[in-house]
Structure 1
């Protein structure tokens, strides 16, 4: 069963990370910026890839560290072995292991695993669970009551920064620095809206099913469902999402 298989993926990733030297940090960026990757990232992805290859040998795999296997297959697994590597190397608990299942272009399953917190969200077949218990978003429908999170306001520039400032002015509370954990908290009802820009498919593929199957809504800053531009909003309700889009766009 796919839901049980997500648990197995999370278990092998956790085991690989625990057995790996977490002090080894490389910089993937060649333009002078800091884009860290650790041997734990690579070990976790290798472990997940090996399990997928053994269990679902016809499925494709698209991993952040090792790229594609069987690119073009209708069903594939999108892997981000450690989302929030900066948090990971700082000893913060907000990093996550992400795995998304995409079938014929549809996000049909996802896992957000938070090993340091021993929390694992799995979205599949219309339900999202946290350590096996069904969870739901808060259902919040008003920006005036919304708890909002973004990873880092310094990631916004120009028009994105102006747009986020408009959104921030309409909500009572904003928290920072949670990476994928913020989107997990939307699914569990603890945060009402999470948004980031510049996300890549590995960053959001696992989030989509977890948020949608918990009753939330996920889309882009323009009000559509194409996330490929990297500007992503996850909201507790469609009404809240639409209000956020209106705020961002003035």
Structure 2
């Protein structure tokens, strides 16, 4: 499979997911809670989007593995594994906000090598292979590049919600919020793409799953950013994650989190 063929396939994968999901957006769609006491919504749109992607992957690359939010894992020890989240930001989706997106990640021998965030409502796609990242959408086709930010006090931070942090982790996050200039909540996958585009400086999260983050790693890194866990290790397994556009502010954030968590 050539690079051009691969890009065409991923583009098709994002398109079929969007075609499956969009008929449900801003409708009176039913919502189930799969999180027990905590609200973790899932809809027919989530199921339809992932089913469409799985069908295309299996038909094209039957030897590849798949890790997905809605239908579990298949052949996850394969050399190539697709990591799928049909709607990252379902809370945004069910409230009609366009801050959600379809995440398509590809792992090779256990490491993220390619990622796409597709937002079919705004007709935007953010793509990265770890070495470069780019945007396609209403603003044209352009390269993505993070911005310089050396100090926490100058940084704009994003996080899904303060409620994802517990105990010492919450104290650490609150210290980060106090140290930075401004915090925005609820961006989900879109926030990572805005970091790659130079609009946000740092993102601090917890309780992530692999399908929440694998696709975003090549985009952030391709734009010149850094994304790790709170100990500075690989982030592709999820958990507590920190992303930054500038390595200096990332180092400062790691130091603060280590002191408080």
Give TM class, smaller chain: over 0.9
Counterpart check, 1:102 vs 2:107: yes
Q: Write out aligned runs for 1:135-174 (5 A).
A: 135-174=144-183
| Other-structure match for 2:7 | 3
| Other-structure match for 1:50 | 55
Unaligned 5+ segments in structure 2 are: none
Out of 106, 109, 118, the position equivalent to 1:113 is 118
Normalization by structure 1: what TM-score? 0.94
SS of residue in 2 equivalent to 1:139: coil
SS of residue in 1 equivalent to 2:84: strand
Out of 77, 83, 92, the position equivalent to 2:88 is 83
SS of residue in 2 equivalent to 1:32: coil
Please give the root-mean-square deviation of Cα atoms over the aligned residues, in Å. 1.6
Tell me the CA shift for residue 227 of structure 1: 4.7
Tell me the CA shift for residue 2 of structure 1: 2.5
Tell me the CA shift for residue 140 of structure 1: 2.1
Q: Write out aligned runs for 1:1-250 (5 A).
A: 1-20=5-24, 23-29=29-35, 31-124=36-129, 126-131=131-136, 132-228=141-237, 230-250=239-259
Query: Which segment is superposed worse, 227-236 or 190-199?
Result: 227-236
Query: Which segment is superposed worse, 223-232 or 6-15?
Result: 223-232
Cα distance in structure 1, aligned partners of 2:191 and 2:216: 10
2:156 and 2:182 in contact (8 A); partners too: yes
After superposition, the Cα gap between the structure-2 partners of 1:146 and 1:99, relative to the gap in structure 1 and judged at 3 Å, is: same
**Cα shift readout 1:111-150 (whole Å, capped 9, x = no counterpart):** 1112232211011261111104211111322212211101
After superposition, the Cα gap between the structure-2 partners of 1:91 and 1:193, relative to the gap in structure 1 and judged at 3 Å, is: same
SS of residue in 1 equivalent to 2:179: coil
Cα distance in structure 2, aligned partners of 1:16 and 1:106: 28
After superposition, the Cα gap between the structure-2 partners of 1:237 and 1:59, relative to the gap in structure 1 and judged at 3 Å, is: same
Tell me the CA shift for residue 204 of structure 1: 0.6
Cα distance in structure 1, aligned partners of 2:34 and 2:243: 28
Unaligned 5+ segments in structure 1 are: none
1:63 and 1:202 in contact (8 A); partners too: yes
SS of residue in 2 equivalent to 1:231: strand
**Cα shift readout 1:18-37 (whole Å, capped 9, x = no counterpart):** 234760211213x3332210
Aligned length: 249
SS of residue in 1 equivalent to 2:51: helix
**Cα shift readout 1:18-77 (whole Å, capped 9, x = no counterpart):** 234760211213x33322100000000011111111222221111111112233211100
Cα distance in structure 2, aligned partners of 1:116 and 1:229: 27
